Amino acid sequence: MPAEDQLLTSAQYEKHEAFWPGWLFPSFEKSMQVSNGSQPFLLKIHYEVCWRDVDMMEIGIFSIMVIVTFLLASWFSIILYRKRVEQLTAHETLFNMANFDALTGLPNKNLLMDRVEQAIRHARRSNLRVALLYMDLDRFKAVNDNHGHKVGDLLLKRVVERIAVIVRSHDTLARLHGDEFVVLMSEVKHRRDVERLAGKIKALFNTSFTVYEESMMLDVSIGIALYPDDGMSGPVLLNLSDKRMYEDKRTGQELPAGGVDEVEEPI
């Protein structure tokens, strides 16, 4: 038997037809010229992936199963991810509906009272004050009656934009309902700081608001309540500031834009 036949016989490998794509079962062929010393001859070397005693069909089916499993896992992962995103979006939507005003984007009463209680706890530890400034817009009802709710809504947004400029970044401007707003001032050292802010807010209404190229004048009434001077809880402070706002509306007493100047010691 020729030597090359003996070599092939000793390999004991089964040869299969290459009906699978090359990327799955790679192979290559290389030719080279060699010499035995006297006469050169061409030697061809062929390489391919072979498996001993393995059915190529089984390997192919297994490979397809792996690919299908990967695709199904990816598909389920995408579905789970989308459902999670939908849940988070729904949760965020519900949170915003429960805690923020739809028109102005300001915190509503629910979120305001939560922040009031947090501010009171901090003030109790730090020996500071907390203040609520309850605001009601005078003559706003006439705007709604004469120009409609669309103009009234835009006017409320203009008012919010103007007040937000002078409210400290760590304080809260909230809308309760209609034309009533509240400013929560935390970490207050002196009552005069609160009265000064109230005076500045009133001064903002000395200039008209423009909606659809029409100028409109409003006034604002403000009631003030402080922790711990006037009450020890959020609801008590809110009710008292509401009553004082109506007193301000009846009397028409205005604070100067710069606030009061008397000296007051911190608590």
Active-site annotation, residues:
179
Task: Determine which helix (DSSP H) or strand (DSSP E) holds 64, and give its type and residue range.
Answer: helix 56-99
- Rg (alpha carbons) of the chain, rounded to whole number: 40
Query: CA-to-CA distance for 233 and 239, rounded, in angstroms?
Result: 10
Which contacts of 205-211 are long-range, i.e. CB under 8 A and separated by 24 or more positions? 209/155, 209/158, 209/159, 209/162, 210/158, 211/147, 211/151, 211/154, 211/155, 211/158
Question: 209-211 and 214-216 as β-strands: parallel, antiparallel, unpaired?
Answer: antiparallel
DSSP state of 107: B
Nearest to 167, CA basis, from 135, 129, 124: 135
Q: Which two tokens stand for residue 68?
A: 């299908």
CA dihedral (93, 95, 101, 105) in degrees, to 10, reads -70
- Phi/psi for 109 (5° steps) reads -65, -40
CA distance 194 to 227: 12
Cis preceding linkage at 228, omega within 30: yes
Give the CA count within 13 Å in the CB-facing half-sphere of 243. Answer: 7
Find, among 246, 242, 220, 248, the residue nearest to 230 by Cα. 242
Look up tokens 């209680």; give the residue.
117
